Homo-oligomer: A and B are copies of this chain.
Amino acid sequence: MKESKTTIHDIARALQIDSSTVSRALNNSPRVTQKTKDKILAKAEELGYQRNVLASNLRKNVTYTIGVVVPRISRHFFSSAIQGIEETAYQAGYNVIICQSLEQLEREKKIVETLLANRVDGVLMSISMETLDYDHLQTLKGSNIPLVFFDRHCDLPGNSNVLIDDFKGGFDATQHLIDKGCKNIVHFSGPQVLEIYRKRFEGYKAALEKNGIVFRNDLVFTSRLMEQEGSECAKKIISENMDVDGIFSANDVAAIGAMKYLKQHGVNIPDDIAIVGFSNEPVSRVIEPSLTTIDQPGFEIGKAAVNLLLEQINDKSLITKGKSVVLESNLIPRSSSNKS
């Protein structure tokens, strides 16, 4: 049984010095001779010493850990955001605990409690769709733990948010179609309770207006944006012989549904009808290389969110001063086959 880990006392005893000197040396304090430092480090190596982070953290009252709460990690946007978060956090010497709310308020509450119990230094959060009031988040504020929302924004005053500019995304998508020569542009929109869809819709209208194209309500199809709903819209366009030369879809799934249907009925994409869709999953581009997508910069969102959080961790007076960062999505004209 070599159960027992070596501690700073072990290496202090072996060297006939005090454990506090060892501690200082291991923390590279300037108040220790280089010579003793070398001795200590050598001995530490020899004994296979490993600092007990728990003890250290307890003493220093920090954890160098941040909690991340997302609806589900399997969604591409979130997994790429997490990638950005980890990258940035690790570089700053922070660990990351990832939690999934699965869009359930109950789970979100429990997660917040757990994170609090584990004394995380800060929390990044993308609230669940069920989350309408924010009482459970007050405990974080109460404990003076910085909290930054990303992707899904929380409209309480004094909170920090990192978001995508959906208005601009919708605008860019529409402008792109107009630049390609489209005049009669259909918009597939989603549930208007969600801010993202409202904003994309507004961007669409703004682009039309800017280019002197009159907005027509009959060109807007609102649905849940599933694949089938996309193809149903396409069906309507064809069967009613609508005069359409462009489609801006608020997500990729509906866009693909529409494309499939249109292609099957002899419509040429993008020559007859050009299509642009907000992209949720990168597979879309693999499946339909001819689909122009608006890509959401998950990685950058993650990075920005961590940076904002670290600012607040390092200067707690910033916690109550809400600060928002807005990132732009990228229009990708049509990707050539790219490796996953």
Q: Which residues of A are at the interface with B, using a C-beta cutoff of 8 A? A: 2-3, 5, 48, 50-55, 57-58, 63, 72-74, 76, 79-80, 82-83, 86, 95-100, 114, 116-119, 142-144, 226-228, 253, 256, 281, 283, 286-287, 337, 339
Who on chain B is nearest to A227 by CB? B286
List B contacts of A98 (CB < 8 A).
73, 96, 98
Question: A283 CA to B118 CA in the complex, in Å?
Answer: 36
CB distance from A186 to the nearest CB of B (A): 22
List B contacts of A253 (CB < 8 A).
286
List B contacts of A5 (CB < 8 A).
143
Of the candidates A76, A114, A283, A339, the one having the most CB atoms from chain B within 10 angstroms of its own CB is: A283
Who on chain B is nearest to A116 by CB? B50
Question: A275 CA to B99 CA in the complex, in Å?
Answer: 38
List B contacts of A83 (CB < 8 A).
72-74, 100
Q: Are B100 and A114 in contact (CB under 8 A)?
A: no
Contact of A58 among B55, B95, B117 (CB under 8 A): B55
Of the candidates A51, A57, A286, the one having the most CB atoms from chain B within 10 angstroms of its own CB is: A286
Question: A116 CA to B57 CA in the complex, in Å?
Answer: 15
- List, sorted by A's number, 11 A–B pairs whose CB atoms are closer than 8 Å: A50-B117, A53-B118, A54-B63, A54-B118, A55-B58, A72-B79, A73-B79, A95-B118, A97-B97, A226-B337, A287-B287
List B contacts of A95 (CB < 8 A).
97, 114, 118
Q: How many copies does the complex hold?
A: 2
Question: A160 CA to B111 CA in the complex, in Å?
Answer: 30
Question: A54 CA to B53 CA in the complex, in Å?
Answer: 10
Who on chain B is nearest to A55 by CB? B58
Question: A286 CA to B283 CA in the complex, in Å?
Answer: 11
Given the interface pairs A58-B58, A287-B256, the reply to whether A117 lies near B51 with Cβ below 8 Å is yes
Question: A57 CA to B55 CA in the complex, in Å?
Answer: 9
CB distance from A142 to the nearest CB of B (A): 8
List B contacts of A3 (CB < 8 A).
144
CB distance from A59 to the nearest CB of B (A): 10
Question: A228 CA to B338 CA in the complex, in Å?
Answer: 11
CB distance from A74 to the nearest CB of B (A): 4
Question: A253 CA to B282 CA in the complex, in Å?
Answer: 13
CB distance from A324 to the nearest CB of B (A): 27
Question: A98 CA to B73 CA in the complex, in Å?
Answer: 11
Q: Are B74 and A80 in contact (CB under 8 A)?
A: yes
Question: A196 CA to B71 CA in the complex, in Å?
Answer: 32
Q: Are B58 and A54 in contact (CB under 8 A)?
A: yes
CB distance from A92 to the nearest CB of B (A): 14
List B contacts of A119 (CB < 8 A).
52-54
Question: A228 CA to B286 CA in the complex, in Å?
Answer: 10
Who on chain B is nearest to A98 by CB? B98
List B contacts of A74 (CB < 8 A).
76, 79-80, 83
CB distance from A250 to the nearest CB of B (A): 16
Given contacts A50-B116, A54-B63, A73-B82, 17 further A-B contacts (CB under 8 A): A2-B142, A5-B143, A52-B119, A53-B117, A54-B57, A54-B58, A54-B119, A72-B83, A73-B73, A73-B79, A74-B79, A79-B79, A96-B97, A226-B337, A227-B337, A283-B283, A287-B287
